[in-house]
Structure 1
Amino acid sequence: MKSPWLVHSIFLLQLCLLAIWDWELATADELPAQRSAGCQSKCGNVDIPYPFGIGDQCAIHHGFDINCKAVDGTERPFKGPFEVTKISVADAKAWMKMNISWRCYGQTDTRNMREYMLMQNFINTPFRFSETDNKIFVLGCYTTGYMTTLSYVLGCFSTCYSEREPPRNGSCSGAGCCKVDLPKDQVYFKAFFNEYYNTTVGCSYIVVMEEKKFSYKTTYAHSTTFWDDYKGQVPVVMNWTIRPYSCKDAKKNTNSYACVSNNSVCVDDGIDGSHSQAYRCKCLDGYDGNPYVKGDDGCKDINECERIADPCWASGGTCQNRPGSFECLCPQGEQMVNGTCKENQKSKSSSSWMIPVIVASVGGVVLVIVMACAYLIRERRSLQLIKQRYFRQHGETELQEATDMFNDKRVLGHGGHGTVYKGLLKDNTEVAVKRCMTIDEQHKKEFGKEMLILSQINHKNIVKLFGCCLEVEVPMLVYEFIPHGTLFQLIHGNHGRQISLATRMQIAHQSAEALAYLHSCASPPILHGDVKSSNILIDSDYAAKVSDFGASILAPTDESQFVTLVQGTCGYLDPEYMQTCQLTDKSDVYSFGVVLLELLTRKKPLNLEGPEHEKSLALRFISVAKEGKLEEILDDQIMNDENMDVLEEVADLAKQCLEMSGENRPSMKEVSERLDRSRKVMSQPWAQQNIEEMESLLGESSMASSEVLNTGNLSIEKAAAKGLEWGR
């Protein structure tokens, strides 16, 4: 394994040196101002716009030379071995067909396909793979595929059957198919399969291709269907630039500067992932055409007035085209006022304009009243529909029977506004019944608010509301029963029993997902307001369920709606909220940061009996983190060399959640994504079993590289330690 990779590394170095040499030679040439007379502008059905050309004499330089040759009786354009299907000057992109890398196991058909590994090399060309249009796809059952570039190793693991989601048509989420983002400015890819983790019966594939042209089929994992569907070649989008210069440097040499149209502009663009620059040209706003061509064939003025939709129609004016823009001219006697042509009022007396102003004012008042009435009617109807859906007028007797007349032995806990009992309905369904502790109107309103909020939520990690009984003396809410109690009890009340880091990470990620859903996906967004470990329930599979929405509010739309009464739980309260009394989504982030500390340290948020510097868990954590003594506070059950990378990442995330200023804290969506990445790093068996193999594959020079790519799948710096990411 070492020798081929060493040869490969030397080969890459030679290619890099040749690439630099070729580009430098190219810059010495003078660029033609436009295509020479007699040059072809099409090859078959494909337009070949300048700076491209068929032959060196017709292209801006040899890097844009296109070979037009006959294939099966039809002319087709090629750049090297790759067929070109489309070229765009405006987007600086070219579409090409490229081969598929595959490995088949056993004789799959009469062709007896075995193995083909591709290498795509654009080092000495103006092209690079578009990171926004392309993805790396790996297809197959139990298939580990990856590609090497000049700087990175990129790949993923495709399972055969995922517990979360089986393979299905149109989905590439890890089961039968996985995908990886491309880094910016890549010019070289070589494909590999890891034979130790490829147990496909059928064929495995790895390709770089245009994402929107790919659609997964379940037959791809067991046959040659993928190869057949695309006839052995897939579409790939390539970016291109003119020279390895920045615009500033390119303009110094007028003989080689390519943006020759009078109405063009130079645009800087990176290349090959290095700090050097390249550039391309584009037409100015209001112009269209080819910025690489002088004279009338270059960037031409767009006549906006000839468009199907008249741009001056709304203003009542007449469209007049201008170079690069247009103007709306008002009829004689009128002038443009706030984008609309209006009659000149200077010569009219005050009485002539007072009447329409009064009429407009009265009309506006009437319109506001009508809209307000319509809004109130709609809200009343909406509330009635919710009550019809959840209200069970005669359910009080059934709930009394289910809870044994609210027997104290059935008490599960106490929420923000009531006591929670375990109940058993007549159909043997276990439920949790929350009963208001008092009967004043304020607590009834809080119960009603919790019911309205939960009626809008549908998420697997948020406790489900089965029904309610509000129009009785003591209102009640009925939830699904969660058997393992609260996270607080699991952490602090299980008498030191082992809780693995994997279980803690699962609970943290699922809780963060639920809160991110409330902040980002609920409409309108919901702020929980009382995030703490005792409001996170744990089911039989140790899955998290966020509960207790008595303190929650719908996200305020203006300052008049901000909460003015401080509520929540000591130890979890956002210090910024304590100062401003304004509950925001970043208040929930702070509270969740305290929950993360509980999972990491197995300590309570407040320890009033301890020394002064240990009373607040958050303050103590921040102190030891600053001193670099994190091991003094972490739970001994999970603190070992194998876990330290993940523990440090989660601790750093908790530190960011606990920032004093809400603006400096991450969003719950960002918190959820980072915890998800940390979980995936923990779940890589390949990383734990193949460290020595990866070190030999990548070589010492790769391991020592300071360049790091983190696409959410793989970083070259930690490739040997972390391995390839599971398919997402």
Structure 2
Amino acid sequence: MHTMEFARLLLPCLLAAVSVLAAAVAQSPDNCTRRCGDIDVPYPFGLEPPPCAMNNVPFQLNCTTAVGSATKLYSGSLEVTKISVPDNKFWFKTWISRQCYNQTTKSMLTETSWLDLVETNVLSAEDNKIIVLGCNSLAYMRSDTYTIGCVSTCNNTVTPMVNGSCSASAGCCQLDLPKGVRYYQGFFNSLYNTTDPKWRNTPCNYVTVMESAAFNFSTTFLTSTAFYDRDDARTPVVMEWAIAQGTCGDAKIDNTTGYPCVSNNSYCDTNDAGYVCKCHGGYKGNPYIANGCIDIDECTENVPYPCPAPGSCRNTLGNFTCSCPRGESITDGVCKKKQKSTWMALVVGASIGLVVLVVGITCAYLIQERRKLHHIKQKYFRQHGGLLLFQEMRSQQGISFKIFSEEELQQATDNFAEKEVIGHGGHGKVYKGVLKSDVEVAVKRCMTIDEQQKKEFGKEMLILSQINHRNIVKLLGCCLEVEVPMLVYEFIPNGTLFHLLHGNSSRHIPLHTRLRIACESAEALAYLHSCASPPILHGDVKSTNILLNGDLTAKVSDFGASILAPNDESQFVTLVQGTCGYLDPEYMQMCQLTDKSDVYSFGVVLLELLTRKVAFNLKGPENEKSLSMVFLNAMKENKLEDILDDEIKNNDNVEFIEEIAELARQCLEMCGMNRPSMKEVADKLDRLRKVLQHPWAHKDPEELDSLLGESSSVNSGSLVSTGNFSITKKVAMGLEIGR
């Protein structure tokens, strides 16, 4: 079997990708050759290298004039007969696959052709057909994605052979070409053996891809080699081409090609090959060159005339308009005189009246709804103590507190979008927002509150607004015109202590940093308990409510569970709130939130800093779920070292850790009366921090005197009463030795 090798179309090398000029597509210069024989060669195609052609391959073509023959246009080794820029197509000639019976040798001769296009070219599915001819033919085309074929036979008793009529039972069958075909090869499968007498009259079978408009069946195609012999055994084929594969979105962001649609009034479109350029409707020309798309004068170029007689046509950019003589209008495509109608006037008048009525009712409804909304906002504002807040703000000069509108906070948080949520709590969600002044804030939308809380809300907001401590998140303002008030705090960017200790980060946290965070948090709580007027009980102290700024300075936050210190015993009873693992056992039993409840919760935070373990582990064993219980058992069994964080366990830190652990144990006393106050806790942590920063062995006597003076209360306090050999004792001993 002999195989005719078929040259690849448009691209000598299949592996070469389409490579457009790195700069934006340029206009072809005027000195480029734009004709080969009788064929126009428009840009982006060209007969010379760029810039005459868009690039060397596949847009650069060859014009060849052989001796004694006509001038022909080639892409590679294939002859091109026509190029269309508006249709993004060109026509070329391809070979025919055939199977013929040799009467002399009693054998079959098979010649198969194949076609292989580049990735930016495909065969046009709408312009081409797969043609199979023969009386004994089972032929098919095979590609990398499909195999398709048909059987053609000659049975005159069923269907007589007639010129111009292609029928599968009359020696001819046609198949639609699938979309996106870049490669195919023709094959045959004999239906009859070589001794069949039918071969004597119809010696050959054929299969090819061919332009459907160029094919007209003839009975001579079956009885002779006329189909194969015409035009050097080639048939016309239509191909769609594109600038590159992909979509128009790819064309605009592809930095290697530049946007190809450079002409005004052009746009990007796609076909089966990739993306191409076209002129807008009402324009024609070449969209690949500057100013290539020009206006179509529909009034002179259209046949027939586009406007009805006796009307006139006026050309506009990209379009045209028709007009009739005065007193006439276009009706059913003809200029006719306008007819006055009284009923039409009535209909128009009634329609206008109805529209005015509907608009009036709608406007009245909207005004009423706006007033209703305004009254609701005023009602909420009064319920939440807004009037009291205004009066106090006027009477107190220099207070940096603002009452925000709901609209301001909606704009700041992108209408409270989920993507702006930076935290969840038992009392609501926290959103990051940016005010019009470019100030970053944290906006907390609270859950529902009861009537008693509504009455006290304005007063409490005023008190919280006056809190000014460097380790407490500043309350900047609130929004009172909603059912549940919203709070606006300063934005702290570095997350929470919980995420620092328990997050995925393996960040090393030295003991002095942990001690500083603990000391700053304790000072903030001591300020709330001792310096605020009236005192404030936080009610939900935990590591997630201690925020950290850029240098890991602690900021106590989330006063959603906070209350003002009660004036009498009747005010003590409250609903138990807080977080599992941090809740004061006495508070859970008595439902009485006191300052010692905050001390207990802070003791759990101290344990987190020492152990880097979570306060409550649901997945742990029953006796290891609560960190406080694990710690107290370890202290009781003298196994503190077993639960400490490995990062801070060393010989230099052991005494400091024991002091901090003892302080945590005192905070976790079951009876609140036996716990130290937050002021005492803060003082002890501050003294430990100073000793850690200024070791006694390296200090002069005067500084040691100062440290000893500060620590005297510790020596007489509960730390010494445990029998531990405390750091402050060692400072005193060092002082005696130095003297």
TM-score by shorter chain over 0.5: no
Higher RCO (C-alpha 8 Å, min separation 6): 1
TM-score (norm 1): 0.42
TM-score (norm 2): 0.42
Instruction: Find the structure with the greater CA-based Rg.
Output: 2
